[in-house]
Amino acid sequence: MNIVVSVLLVAVVAVNAEVGHTGDKPRFCGRYSCPRFWTVERMPGYDTRCYTYSTWAVTKAKDLDQKYYKNEFRRLYSYLRGSNDQHKDIPMAVPVGINMRYNLTDHTTASGLGFYVPTKCQKKTPQPTDSKVFLKKLQRFCVYVRSFSGYVMGRSNRMYRNLGRLSKDLKRDGRDYLHRVSMSHSYNSPWKIFWRHNEVWRFLTKSKEEELMKTIEDPAFENPPCEM
């Protein structure tokens, strides 16, 4: 019985450590760099996070309602491997994200793929040479996040089930969000078998986002340190 209690206690401490995350690198990023965020709230089924400034390499999907992104992944990976104006090899980072925008009129989904690109002190981020790849510098933003495990390939049923659960939980708690936009993120290589980490995101309304950002007192949120 004592062993069981001890294991449960360790699990609770580990969860609380993640909830108290204040801009440091979380465990689920593993050995990769990942964007810095502050967890400002945790509710049953989801977290509320605020992210500081970040840079992403992104490319649009070829087709509406596209489910898989093999060519888009290769295009972005080529950018990391030297298809940029500095002919520089850029280390892979996480997450790999799918952005989705739902059209309420014709019920189609436009989407694209994005790689997080760590930025360096006093150094210019290499510009893509492929016209279908472009850099997007994001300002600070906040999101509702549902995490889940297992393999997720593209816009799969598993991804949409979790997105639906996130939407249901937000409705339960009376939380407004932007209905037409969402994101899905993967944090692991295809060769990782166990302890995989995936996320779906819903974006906060502007007023709620501004309210939560005011609660973050860490100076690094407004002036993030350079990547090492």
In 3D space, the residue among 2, 198, 200, 212 whose CA is nearest the CA of residue 94 turns out to be: 198
Q: What are phi and psi of 167, to 5 degrees?
A: -60, -40
Cα–Cα distance, 38 to 216 (Å, whole number): 8
pLDDT band at 137 (very low <50, low <70, confident <90, very high): very high
Fold of 2-222: Multidrug-efflux Transporter 1 Regulator Bmrr; Chain A (3.20.80)
Question: pLDDT tens-digit profile of 144-200?
Answer: 999 999 999 999 999 999 999 999 999 999 999 999 999 999 999 988 989 999 999
Q: How far apart are CA 21 and CA 116, in angstroms?
A: 20
SS3 212: helix
What residue segments make up the domains of the chain, in order of their start? 2-222
Task: Express each pLDDT in 94-133 by its tens digit.
Answer: 999 999 999 989 999 999 999 999 987 768 999 999 999 9
Cut 0.95: pTM above it: no
